[in-house]
Amino acid sequence: MWVLKGSCSISLQNTIRRYPPLLLSNPQKTLLPKFEFFRSNGFTSSDIATVLTRFPHILRRNLENHIIPSFVFLKSLLGTNENTIIALTRFWPIPVVKLDTCVIPNVNLLREIGVPESIICGFIKKWTRAISTDTVRFKEIVEGVKEMGFNPSRLSFVQAVLAFSGMNKSTWERKVNAYKRWGLSEEEILVAFEKSPQFITVSEDKIMRLMDFLVNGMGMEASLIVKCPTLTSLSLEKRLIPRASVIQVLQSKGLVKKNIYLPRVFMYVEELFLQKFVTCYKEEASDLLKLYKEKLDL
């Protein structure tokens, strides 16, 4: 442990491993002012540890020319120190890239095409990495998303921008082909993507396992995923399989209809699912809760 002035005690083992020149820095002249700035603006010791673990090179950046202007810029968008800290602990390179040649042009582009300020702020807070994408590529992504028919005034627009910022053309094609293996057309895939851009961000492995579960395991039509693309955001192991197991028991006992609409069942919050399909059947199917918990623990 390295204890710094101001009771800021953080583990630097990983930081030094990733950035050995840190050992050559002057603690009083180079490091201390940065730590004091962080602490004075609401960073906890845990926040600072997160920053250094994820991006130790921030300690070599100039406080006045890079770190402070970045903090001030983000705070002007996000409103509070708390929101700014959340954004920066998610992705720290923003204080390293040049704001005027990267981040600011990307923000201005979103404004120019009609993305609401509230959505821009949420985009930066939740997906900070994407807003620091190279401006040329960012513009290409934004234009491509517009051409696909996404409405800039809706959250799905920036979600689509986020999806494309995290993959190249070949990755997109591989994921599209994974869905096509289950009989979906390219048009259907685009419809699902427009409804929920997260539909295409899941791994190819999850696409195949999810579709196998829905089609072969539950006897559903593959096109169901087009109607309910948000299913891709749910965990197979912690949500879909345990709940499907409960429903199958209830169906075998004639307690729920064979044609029950499973997507709705999968989307229920935990408390409501238990209330509607587990606790209310404790007399007719006393082992349901045990079964459900066993499936969750697998």
pLDDT tens, residue by residue, 184-204:
999 999 999 989 888 999 999
Place of tokens 């089609």: 215
Q: What is the pLDDT of residues 250-273, one digit of tens each?
A: 999 999 998 899 999 999 999 999
Residue 138: pLDDT over 70: yes
Residue 1: pLDDT over 80: no
- The CA-CA-CA angle for residues 216, 221, 224, to 5°, reads 120
275 DSSP 8-state letter: H
- pLDDT at residue 3, as a whole number: 41
Closest CA to 162 of 112, 113, 125: 125
* Three-class DSSP category at 196: coil
**What amino acid is encoded at 146 in this protein?**
K
- pLDDT at residue 67, as a whole number: 85
Residue 63: pLDDT over 90: no
CB 115 within 8 A of CB 155: no
Instruction: Give the pTM.
Output: 0.70
Mean pLDDT score across all residues of the chain: 86
The kind and range of the H/E element at 3 are strand 2-4
- pLDDT at residue 51, as a whole number: 78
- pLDDT at residue 283, as a whole number: 87
Mean pLDDT value of segment 67-72: 86
Q: What is the pLDDT of residues 3-33, one digit of tens each?
A: 444 334 444 666 666 666 666 666 677 778 8
Higher per-residue confidence, 128 vs 208: 208
Residue 112: pLDDT over 70: yes
- pLDDT at residue 133, as a whole number: 86
- pLDDT at residue 179, as a whole number: 97
